[in-house]
Structure 1
């Protein structure tokens, strides 16, 4: 079970959801059918136990301002980020008690704009239609727009964590890390943000920056030199990123050897360091470096 505000999922915003969804499927992920949110965004998921990968795009610009929370518009925010470039927009934090968890982070200085309650139509693997029920607590920070979060509580998890969707041919079973690219002069405000979410005791040292432990996985904050040493050259659209942003997701797998045939079949260039593999071409997967590490 995920602990306090574990990494739930990053919203990988892309212009062509069908194309990128197919690319993730080629890597051995079981992708859900494309669904729709009430604020105009489309979505396809790779589900793990209490966390996931989400690919998102826009299907109806006329809905972007639906379900506003104060000055925050979910669809409008995704649209704005996608107009700038593909990549991770917002990041969801897992919760079993959204109301209680938001009170904790507010006491640490994190601002919440309020609540969005919504449902999304789904078609289960056996063909039955149903509708999810989700509560979001928005934690948007105008000073860190691409590191803003929302607390996410699923009230009908049986419609999200469906056994058939949890089984991936490549053996994927979770998320262990999200890497944040931040220039040295911006790292202090990122530290303040992560300390507000998780407490100062969650912060640890890391080359090129620092990290923060969550209830599921870690955030690692690093400058460009440290990021490129791990993953290779940044995509052109990220090299001059003005603000800190998430640029890599580490997926756990039962065995690295199980992943390699999919990477070879997809002709995906990768680096291998022991029991960890990272893909070199971030641009092909929504401006995200995907990495795989073993967790049986």
Structure 2
């Protein structure tokens, strides 16, 4: 029996520091969670949405520990270090899908010919704005479209995530309620169709200039870009409750943006490594 397709879980955005990310995202009207500390040297300040997805701005908080774990085969820190070495400290590094069974997903990625590294288990503490604390545990299964790809891909099983009230963290001044879609780029999108099907577990539709897959909670497209040498993460499309209010906010804050048929597109900037697109 075919397993259901994997949903979007979150997106990893490397940043030079969490302070830079907080400043930029706050300017755009996002609410950032308190700092999270990984046991392998990286730190984050997540942006949670009401649809269950989130952004993970990621910095290297403890460089020595991050470098050690990468050398030891930690696919997460190795992937982050590889991306930063190629693309720099500000970007869109990883697309993460949800997993019901990371062991099964790891086996499936390997069987399909797209292994991305050793499966990883870890736990980290968290703190909510009201001071509640707890520990969350995860299992990660990695997939790779090709050797040496700058962006990396994995499925995340939330093994032990305590139920907490995230209403305050999921409420954003810009009116964003979730992630509608992700745009990837490649010189030839059709080259990566098999990978996208193996990674998502869903059928991929092929068109002349792009391929696309619809997940339970978002869509992923790979568009043609002759200047891209691998499979790159490019843009994030958000659902926004009030684009007019956001337009006024961006204008008042002197943030560059394009307005095309009601979709507001904000180009990458320090602390925001992807093109952000906001639509009603």
Class of the TM-score when normalised by the shorter of the 2 chains: 0.7 to 0.9
Mapping of residues 94-105 of structure 1, within 5 Å: 94-105=98-109
Cα 1:112–1:70 change in 2 (3 A) is farther
Which residue of 1 is the match for residue 230 of structure 2? 243
**Which segment is superposed worse, 213-222 or 37-46?**
213-222
Q: 1:198 to 1:60 in 2, by over 3 A?
A: closer
Q: Tell me the distance in 1 between the aligned counterparts of 2:251 and 2:141.
A: 41
Secondary structure of the equivalent of 1:146?
coil
Instruction: Write out aligned runs for 1:102-251 (5 A).
Output: 102-111=106-115, 113-143=117-147, 145-158=149-162, 162-184=166-188, 187-198=189-200, 201-205=203-207, 208-224=209-225, 241-251=228-238
> Gapped runs of 5+ residues in structure 1?
226-239
CA distance in 2, matches of 1:242, 1:189: 12
Equivalence for 2:91: 87
The equivalent residue for 1:273 is: 260
Distance 1:252 1:197, change over 3 A: same
The corresponding residue for 2:268 is 282
The aligned residue for residue 236 of structure 1 is none
TM-fit CA distance, 1:112? 5.5
Count, aligned residues: 274
Q: Counterpart of 1:53?
A: 55
Q: Give the secondary-structure state (helix, strand or coil) at the position aligned to 1:191.
A: helix
| Mapped contact 2:135–2:162 kept (Cα < 8 A) | no
Task: Please state whether the residue corresponding to 1:211 is helix, strand or coil.
Answer: strand
Q: Distance in 1 between matches of 2:252 and 2:148?
A: 38
Partner of 2:279: 293
Which one has the bigger helix percentage?
Answer: 1
The reply to whether residue 261 of structure 1 matches residue 263 of structure 2 is no
Q: Is the 8 A contact 1:40 1:58 kept in 2?
A: yes
Q: TM-score, normalised by structure 2?
A: 0.86
CA contact (8 A) 1:69 1:113 kept: no
Measured in 1, the distance between the counterparts of 2:171 and 2:120 equals 30
Separation of aligned partners in 2, 1:132 and 1:258: 35
Deviation of 1:211 (Å)? 1.5
Q: 1:290 to 1:119 in 2, by over 3 A?
A: same
Counterpart contact for 1:135–1:153, Cα < 8 Å: yes
Is the partner of 1:268 in helix, strand or coil? coil
Segment drifting more, 10-19 vs 107-116: 107-116
Are the aligned partners of 1:9 and 1:54 in contact in 2 as well (CA < 8 Å)? yes
Aligned CA-pair RMSD: 2.7
Q: Secondary structure at the match of 2:181?
A: strand
Deviations 1:256-283 (A, max 9, x none): 123223312321121223342111x313
1:142 and 1:37 map into 2 onto residues whose CA distance is 27
Gaps of 5+ in 2: none
Cα deviation code 1:138-190 (max 9, x no counterpart): 22444362343111122344467722211111111111111112113xx3332
TM-score between both structures, scaled by the size of structure 1: 0.81
Indicate how the Cα distance of structure 1 residues 112 and 15 shifts in structure 2: closer, same or farther if over 3 A, else same.
closer
